[in-house]
Structure 1
Amino acid sequence: MYQIHKSLGQHFLQDENISRKIIQALMFQPGEAVLEVGPGLGALTKYLIALPEIEYRAIEIDKEKILYLLRRYPELEGSLLQGDVLEMALPFSRPFKLIGNFPYQITSGIMFRIMEWKAHMQLAVGMVQKEVAQRICSSPGQKTYGLLSVLLQTWFQIEYLFEVSPNCFFPPPRVQSAVIRLMPKPEHPLITDEKQYIQLVKTAFQQRRKMLRNALKEFFPPEQLQHPVFNQRAEQLGWADYLQLYEWYRHVNP
């Protein structure tokens, strides 16, 4: 038996067809390393550990679920880590893939963690709240376009794969879900200080109703703010535009 902890946002996937589709999206090749985030009751785990020559690890915050998985799959001994993915160290010393039904209340945090690990990751497949998936995949000018859209699209090619009904879970969540895939771009854009780049984009969206001339006035000298691009608002610029702004910023703040 097991308990469902609402505080952890636990909704367990029970649809085998959906589980298999998520596994297929991982595009696994024999011998690869895979980190599963939040294995829960093992909806994906049982398929992952059956993959040929997999180097498998998982992180789960709920100790009860770890004990449940070890009773059900004793071969997982040594592969399960109790802890928070937002605080864990890099899980492998070689390139790896990441997969999971992400707890919806920490999805943004997981996305920032994926960005931190991008140089080590081959791809990530995750189930998230549908609205978050749409936001991540949205384009400039759309209502859902925001900070996560720009940052993830800067470093990843993103695919909106398919949607998942609440009826596929127990207990059913009150929201629709969707599965996305993120693949690091073959050539990462040259950003010498990623924290500065993230802060620039974040500041733009913190005042998204203002023209960038006002939202970003702390980043640029008055004469540069006369450029026409600063007549626009944050959601009107694509990730390549933000890279250009960052390059201008670095030029005036070497």
Structure 2
Amino acid sequence: MAKYQVVPKKGLGQNFLADANILRKIVDAAELTVADVVLEIGTGVGALTTALAQAAGRVITVETDRTLAPLLAEVLAGRDNVQLVFGDILKYDPAALLPSPVTAPKVVANLPYYITTPIIFHLLEAGVPWQRLVFLVQKEVADRMVSPPGNKVYGALSVMIQSYCHVELAGVVPPTVFIPRPKVHSAIVKLTPRPREFSPATARCFSLLVRTVFSSRRKNLYNSLRGIFSQLGGEANVMEALRALGLDPQQRGETLSPAEFYALADLCGKNLKGLPQT
């Protein structure tokens, strides 16, 4: 970094990982083999990229900061299994970045705190059959991702992420392993995708239910959902769905598990009336 006068840019959320032990933990969490194709988000100064290239068959790494090009040219020199792409991952179709044909690719990334959630959902919603996704994120975000119902940090992110994946916490990372040091701890999370066969109606109801419930999490289910009854097929439709699932309209919506949110959305979706198509 000194040689190429690289100064981390706060506006890009650049906190470069500089600890061999943490790099090894991230690679181990991804369970890489020479048969694996890995998409990395955020090349940074290439420390994680190098570790991935040593374990995987091919690494496609995406970096938004073009000023890092001279440094990366040196760090990644001779790494024939690494393809460096400069650009914003949110503007790319992840599938288009991967070699074709490819089965069960993996994602590994040290994500900027300020844009963690948009990137994760961009990847999950891309229609790529990911085998595993491993992220280094702010610990507070990791806690929300893995939280069960009833926990004070359980919320919309918990439900949405867990509807796509089985989520595991693979380790806590102190600020001391970054340049510069962030003010908070980070964590390694491992996501293993699960089948998500939502019909269009169920998907729309699911998203609407989750957003509505957690925008008024202290309310009971009936009071929380009454404003969107018409979008869920009417009050009678919602009440019948709740009865069929054994859910009490007086319980708080924040107590529902991701599976219960799905089941409620699926039943309401079968008699959908007036729900917007977006």
TM norm. shorter chain > 0.5: yes
The CA RMSD measured in Å over matched residues stands at 1.9
Q: Is the 8 A contact 2:138 2:184 kept in 1?
A: yes
Aligned counterparts, 1:190-205, within 5 A: 190-193=197-200, 194-205=203-214
Normalising by structure 2, report the TM-score. 0.84
Match of 1:49 among 46, 53, 61: 53
Q: Is the 8 A contact 1:128 1:177 kept in 2?
A: yes
Task: Show the counterpart of 2:164.
Answer: 155
The answer for the alignment partner of 2:67 in structure 1 is 64
Q: Distance in 1 between matches of 2:191 and 2:170?
A: 10
- Which residue pairs with 1:242 in the alignment? 261
140-149 vs 91-100, which moves further: 91-100
Aligned-pair CA distance for 1:222: 1.9
Count of aligned pairs between the two proteins: 251
- Percentage of pairs with the same residue: 34
Look up the equivalent residue of 1:234 and give its one-letter code: G
- Give 3-state SS (helix, strand or coil) of 1:152's partner: helix
Paired residue type of 1:169: F
Matches within 5 A, 1:157-172: 157-172=166-181
| Larger mean Cα displacement after TM superposition, 195-204 or 80-89 | 195-204
Query: Alpha-carbon deviation of 1:236?
Result: 0.5
1:196 and 1:114 map into 2 onto residues whose CA distance is 21
Contact 2:30 2:134 in 1 (8 A): yes
Deviation at 1:225, TM superposition (A): 4.3
Aligned match of 2:117 in 103, 108, 122? Answer: 108
Report the alpha carbon displacement of residue 134 of structure 1 after superposing the two structures with TM: 0.4
In structure 2, what residue type is equivalent to 1:68?
A: L
State the distance in 2 between where 1:116 and 1:76 align. Answer: 30
Question: Which region of structure 1 is more displaced relative to structure 2, 1-10 or 217-226?
Answer: 217-226
| CA 1:35–1:242: 2 relative to 1, 3 Å | same
The aligned amino acid for 1:222 is: E
How far the C-alpha of 1:31 sits from its partner, in A, is: 1.9
Residue 25 of structure 1: how far off its partner (Å) = 1.0
Moved more, 81-90 or 67-76: 67-76
Instruction: Tell me if 1:88 matches 2:106.
Output: no
Given candidates 29, 32, 35, the residue that maps to 1:28 is 32
Q: Write the letter of the residue equivalent to 1:236.
A: T
Quote the residue 2:19 is aligned against.
15
Q: 1:100-249 maps to which residues of 2 (within 5 A)?
A: 100-117=109-126, 119-185=128-194, 188-193=195-200, 194-217=203-226, 218=228, 219-220=231-232, 221-226=234-239, 227=242, 228-249=247-268
**What displacement does 1:152 show?**
1.2
Spell out, residue by residue over 1:111-161, the C-alpha distance to the aligned partner (whole angstroms, 9 max, x if none): 212321364201001100001000000010111001111111112111101
Q: Which whole-Å CA distance do the structure 2 matches of 1:101 and 1:35 have between them?
A: 12
Deviates more, 1:136-145 or 1:63-72: 63-72
Conserved 8 A contact 1:191-1:197: no
* 3-state SS, counterpart of residue 180 of structure 1: strand
- What SS does the corresponding residue of 1:178 show, helix, strand or coil? strand
Task: Measure, in 2, the Cα distance between the counterparts of 1:142 and 1:105.
Answer: 24
Residue 17 of structure 1 deviates from its aligned partner by 0.7
Could you list the structure 1 runs, at least 4 aligned residues long, displaced by more than 6 angstroms after superposition. Answer: none
TM-score for the superposition, normalised by structure 1: 0.92
Over alpha carbons, which structure has the higher Rg? Answer: 2
